[in-house]
Structure 1
Amino acid sequence: WPGMEQDVESLPRGGFRCRLCHVTAANKPSLHDHLRGKKHQRLESLRTKRQLQELRSVFVSGFHKGTSAPELSEYFQAFGGVASVVMDKDKGVYAIVELQDQEVLEKVLAHPQHCLGGKRLRVKPREKKEFKYMPPKKQGSAPREQLSPEKLTQALCQADDVDAQMSQVVQLFEFSESERQLRHLLVTLFQEVFSEFFPGCAILPFGSSVNGFDIHGCDLDLFLDLEKTKSFQASAKAPQEAQVRRAGNRDPWRTKCTPLQAEEGAGPDTDSEDSILSDIDLATATVPEVLELVAAVLRKCVPGVHSVQAVPSARRPVVKFCHKDSGLLGDISINNRLALCNTRFLQFCTEADERVRPLVYTLRYWAKQQGLAGNPFGGGPLLNNYALTLLVLFFLQTRCPPALPTVAQLRELTALGDGDQAIVDGWDCSFPQDASRLEPNTNTESLCSLLAKFFCVFGDHDFAGCVISLREGRALPLPNFLLSEMDSKLKLGPFNVQDPFELSHNVAANVNEKTALRFQHCCRDGAKYCRSLQYQRKSSKGKAWGLVRLFQPGVPEAGELGPDGFLLTIPFTPMALSPGSRWQLCQARDFRRCWFGKVCSAITFVLKDVLKCSCTEPAGQPLTQEPTEQGGGEQPIVGSKHPQSDEGGSLVVSPARKRLRAEGPAPEEGESMSWSCAVWHRVWMGRRRIRRQLWHLGSPQPDTEQEAGSLEVEEKVSEAIIQQEGDSRGAEPLLRFTACAQVGGSQEDTRTLLCFTPAPQQGPLFQDFYHFLQGFLPKMVERYVGRTAEGGSSESQDSALRLGDAILD
């Protein structure tokens, strides 16, 4: 590649490395793709721009401290055009002056002596530096203060009981007085600087710094309120336009006035310095334009701030920054008024019940230690701290008696005159401002008891099948929610927590199935530990007890082995259905039975047709045969006395009397199905490799991940594995197991619990198969249900209902 020698180097063991982007390519085609990519082209353009700036810039020093950039610009304009002046804003001892072109630079350097304000200036060409790319995540991130586990353990073990430990957690993690003072000073500094450029604006902190759940080193979240500034700009613009019209000038912004003149209604002052508001109309400016303006003020005018970066693509566009001396990270948003309401609501809850803060601090640290929650850089599938806090508040709303009121109850108090009505961005954010107006709290549970019950409640909660609503103070079953909120834009997923005010926002929408499952497993482990004496009583021998053992990191086992075997949960996934079939399913006379029939049909198809399992009939059980999907027109035969057979053996489905153990009200007798299966080949091993081989043999490579994992593709993969191992079967299968499906425990639970019980002495091999089924079976069930719904929602629903009737009968 001509001209790329300076950027590309060959590696000793093959491959190439781009020095500009710090990217390694395995071969020449990959390198060629990288060099033509957006990242390399952008950095190359940026490097060229910086080099051209260096060639026409001079380094200036020796001027009086406090000399402004306009003064330097005015001086050098005597030699020609000046593009920009960048001051050393921390010490104010030097400046970089970028001139219009090379000709102006030569004039400046040829001048024998430069003087400004009686001081002799030292002017020399700008030093040439090698362009280096610094990734954003590595910029200006000073190490944050961390509480060592040893110090935490020592402090907690000295407490008298668990309640005292939880109070100690708050004292160890909350802000010190110096941290509060630092943030207050920074907010004051920002307010002073931005008021100079945006008259009437307000800098308002929100989030962890002020909502009552502050943690050492947490970010400083700020909201820049520009509403009064927009009003000021509109009022200042009107007299200018009138005077310009009288003067016959068509450009109203060529003549500018000072803020004082605008307020007094005086005429424009042609000698006044241009205001930043002269360059942009806030009423019509786009969000990226305003963000760049805010970023420019931070870069050039706020001392001690660096690594400023505008992020207009975020859900709430912000300008990120770092405070150099303290290493404090922060961001400024311009359209996040709902965050102010959420912050005040969290403050209100901490005032309403003093147990809120210890419980939230304890659960946040526990979730962080288990790798379940936090606010990592770049996001991720973890619960954010705000979502976890709302989960705790919801738990306190649902205690008996309730420890916190619901948002709907607070709204009723506001309507009675105990607060101001507040509508923000079209959402009703009304609640009382004073928590003392609430009725006395009759819930007297201890912190120790509340923590244990939190783990019990959410250890068996149907997160995917309901929407946690703090507005109503209850979990809304997904079928009912979909019927009542048909126009809701709430993004549903494996973990659904509705924002208490912005009802279209799922604050846990980023959580994936794996994290949701791990959260439940960890809650079950926590509930089990909280029943032990090690949690409830202080150790007389100096051993770890109480929260210390709970905070120890641990990863739940891949499989959960209960008294009835390996348990796998298949959630209700309405997004797999088309809107029409979703609506029809939710309106079914018995939704749970209909959905359970669909899931059982899918399990049958996946085990028999996709994974090629064969099964035998349990003795003394009537048969229920499921339809195959090939042919598309067959109706299921329910209650048939003779199963159909094929070469691979037929899969027999029969009602089971065995009951799964689950918390909550038990389902009616007979709401279950069982499969007695045998596996003859290792169809769970090497599937990704086989899939790639099938693509290379001529099958078209899928465009999306969903196509790559379609039922047809996975069926071909299983057939290829069987061919490679040999179609002949041995005397005994590799595995024998029984699968028993049952609806969830409570009456509103939409999950399907699938319990596997392997034959004796097959535990280790079956664990590998079960680990594969954990990730494979729920996805295949979702795709099967979606495909049958697309093929005919009424037929598939009738089939599911008939199958459900057979199960109940």
Structure 2
Amino acid sequence: MNQPMIFFLIIKRDGKIPQLRFLTKRSYLNDRFQAQAYLKILADTLKHFMAECTNVQIILPARVPIVRFQHRLSDLQCDVSMSEFKSSYYMSKLLWNLSSIDNRVAPLVFVIRRWAREASITQSTPGPWFSNFQMTLLVLFYLQSIEILPKLNYINEQPTTTSPQDILAANGDLSDDTILMNELENIRYVQSNKTNNSSLSILLKGFFTFYETFDFQSSLITLLNRKNMSKSSLIQTGKDKDWPIYLENPLVPSMNASKNLVESEGERFRETCKKASEILSHSSKNLLSLFEECHQILPDDLIARAYPAPISIMPDLETDINQDELTTINDIQQDQVFHNTHQQHIVTS
């Protein structure tokens, strides 16, 4: 029976379709463990049963664990998460609205993300390197620094009659969905800066020039309108520890969205930006030249950090088993050999 089967469950009561609720037991310490367990089940289902779903990846260590897969028929990459705070939806809306302010934002993000992939700055799997999301934040921060995009004020500009407890939840997330949605929607109507009419080629080279000397060690990368742009301002207030690179989550203030990055990646990113800037300084070079000449492989030490050697769980006879146990095992093996030899001798006779 190779034909696909589709099941529909329709429950009617008095001509109406009531809301269907699925109830299950809680069997984990917290919601995060629960979500991770369910995502594992979902990943197995997608991998073994769902047609056209390929390249299934489980990314559980992230702040918001996800299952990522490719839908082959539509050629779309999908991320599935289970989070009470709708961070993925809000973040997508934020990035979309920022790209709506100026028509140069989206193509610049696209080109730089493609360059980062060719230069092995980003990878298709998570690890101690930059992600596409982090690379997007770097582009937006650069565009804010040259005043093409505005700094975000949706936290600082709340009415003074509203208490901080009403605006920020205990973990720093915006607790009022209505306030957040309205502020994110208003970003779309911000007027772009007409004084900066730089072309995409100039902005691309400017991005590399901006970051080739950027001080990741002491600077805070944030899209929010902060007076103090140093990492020490957050460390001194006890809001976070000293990370090698700090990209502030625009929806969760004082939370580092780049905790996975190691210090060497900041240096490798700067060096690659310097090389890209030199390439674009030649009038004969184009995007294809940029991608080809910046192409590189991941350093061995970074690969070793991301994919450590598997740990053997087989017992070490010299350390895990004492001498008496080893003698007993040898005696049993010798008895088995003698027994097998004796049986063979009887059959032969």
TM-score by length of 2: 0.63
Other-structure match for 1:459: 212
Q: What's 2:139 paired with?
A: 392
Aligned to 2:272: 522
For residues 531 and 309 of structure 1, the distance between their equivalents in structure 2, rounded to whole angstroms, comes to 40
- 1:497 matches 2:244: no
2-structure distance, mates of 1:289, 1:511: 26
SS in 2 for 1:407: coil
Residues 330-729 of structure 1 aligned to structure 2 (within 5 Å): 330-335=78-83, 337-373=86-122, 375-377=123-125, 379-399=126-146, 402-408=147-153, 410-411=154-155, 426-428=172-174, 429=180, 431-435=183-187, 437-446=189-198, 447-472=200-225, 476-483=229-236, 485-486=237-238, 488-489=239-240, 492-532=242-282, 534=283, 545-554=285-294
Structure-1 separation of matches of 2:149 and 2:264: 31
Query: How much does 1:295 deviate?
Result: 6.0
Please give the secondary structure, in 1, of the residue aligned with 2:221: strand
Q: Distance in 2 between matches of 1:310 and 1:551?
A: 29
**Alpha-carbon distance in structure 2 between the residues aligned to 1:384 and 1:264:** 44
The answer to whether the Cα contact below 8 Å between 2:97 and 2:188 also exists between their aligned partners in 1 is: no
Counterpart CA distance in 1 for 2:280 and 2:57 is 46
Contact map agreement 1:469 1:497 (CA 8 A) in 2: yes
Mapped partners of 1:320, 1:414: distance in 2: 36
Distance change >3 Å, CA 548–CA 423, structure 1 → 2: same
Contact 1:348/1:433 (8 A) holds in 2? yes
The answer to whether the Cα contact below 8 Å between 2:208 and 2:274 also exists between their aligned partners in 1 is yes
Structure-2 separation of matches of 1:307 and 1:516: 29
- CA change 1:546–1:432 in 2 (3 A) is same
CA distance in 1, matches of 2:186, 2:291: 35
Query: Helix, strand or coil for the counterpart of 1:387?
Result: helix
SS of aligned partner of 1:524: helix
1:332 counterpart SS class? strand
8 Å CA contact retained: 2:149, 2:192? no
Unaligned 5+ residue runs, structure 1? Answer: 1-60, 62-87, 93-191, 200-257, 266-274, 535-543, 557-809
Q: Is the 8 A contact 1:380 1:510 kept in 2?
A: yes
CA shift in 2, pair 1:309/1:457, >3 Å: closer
CA contact (8 A) 1:414 1:432 kept: no
Residue 503 of structure 1, CA deviation: 2.6
How far apart are 1:450 and its partner, in Å? 1.9
Q: In structure 1, how many angstroms separate the alpha carbons of the residues matched to 2:56 and 2:21?
A: 19
2-structure distance, mates of 1:309, 1:297: 12
- Structure 1 position 555, deviation (Å): 6.8
Cα deviations across residues 513-565 of structure 1 (Å, max 9, x unaligned)? 32211111122223333443x1xxxxxxxxx5332322223379xxxxxxxxx
Cα deviation for residue 342 of structure 1 reads 1.0
Q: 1:359 to 1:292 in 2, by over 3 A?
A: closer
- What SS does the corresponding residue of 2:220 show, helix, strand or coil? strand
TM-fit CA distance, 1:303:
5.3
- Residues 259 and 434 of structure 1, relative CA distance in 2, 3 Å threshold: farther
CA contact (8 A) 1:309 1:319 kept: yes
Q: What's 2:319 paired with?
A: none
Relative contact order, higher structure (CA 8 A, sep 6+): 2
| Post-superposition offset of 1:413 | 6.2
Amino acid across the alignment from 1:464: Q
Instruction: Output one character per residue of 1:86-135: Cα deviation in whole Å (capped at 9) or x when no partner.
Output: xx5x535xxxxxxxxxxxxxxxxxxxxxxxxxxxxxxxxxxxxxxxxxxx
Mapped to 1, the partners of 2:110 and 2:188 lie a distance apart of 23
Which residue identity lines up with residue 441 of structure 1 in the other structure? N
**Contact 1:338–1:502, Cα closer than 8 Å, also in 2:** no
Instruction: Give the distance between the partners of 1:503 and 1:519, measured in 2 at CA.
Output: 25
Alpha-carbon contact 1:317-1:334 (below 8 Å) kept: yes
Give the letter aligned to residue 317 of structure 1: P
Within-5 A mapping of 1:98-137: none
Structure 1 position 404, deviation (Å): 0.9
The amino acid across from 1:359 in the alignment is L
Amino acid across the alignment from 1:438 = V
Q: Secondary structure at the match of 1:330?
A: strand
CA distance, structure 1, for counterparts of residue 56 and residue 14 of structure 2: 33
Contact 1:466 1:477 in 2 (8 A): yes
3-state SS, counterpart of residue 185 of structure 2: coil
Check 1:475–1:546 CA distance in 2 against 1; reply closer, same or farther (3 A cut): farther
Q: Deviation string for 1:342-371 (max 9, x for gaps)?
A: 111100111111110121112112222222
User: 1:468–1:474: 8 Å Cα contact kept in structure 2?
Assistant: no
Any conservation in 2 of the 1:319–1:332 contact (CA below 8 Å)?
Answer: yes
For residues 306-362 of structure 1, what are the alpha-carbon distances to aligned partners after superposition, in whole Å with 9 as ceiling and x for unaligned?
787876555423345554656755342110511211111100111111110121112
Q: Is 1:91 aligned to residue 4 of structure 2?
A: yes
Q: How far did residue 389 of structure 1 move?
A: 0.7
1:290 to 1:393, Cα distance in 2 relative to 1, 3 A = same
Q: Partners of 1:439 and 1:327 in 2: how far apart?
A: 35
Distance 1:526 1:304 in 2: 38
Structure 2 alignment gaps of length 5 or more: 161-165, 175-179, 297-349
Output the CA distance in 1 between the equivalents of 2:248 and 2:286: 32
Measured at CA, do residues 549 and 441 of structure 1 come closer, stay the same or move farther in structure 2, by a change above 3 Å? same
Aligned length: 277
Change (3 A) 1:348 1:300: same
CA distance in 1, matches of 2:259, 2:159: 32
Kept in 1, the 8 Å contact 2:172–2:253? The answer is no
Secondary structure at 2:136 match in 1:
helix
Amino acid at match of 2:289: R
Higher strand share: 1
Counterpart residue number, 1:788: none
Question: C-alpha offsets along residues 173-220 of structure 1, whole Å, 9 cap, x if unaligned?
Answer: xxxxxxxxxxxxxxxxxxx99xx78x9xxxxxxxxxxxxxxxxxxxxx
Letter matched to residue 386 of structure 1: F
For the pair 1:317 / 2:93, whether they are aligned, the reply is no
- Deviation of the 1:432 alpha carbon: 4.0
1:294 to partner: Cα distance: 5.2
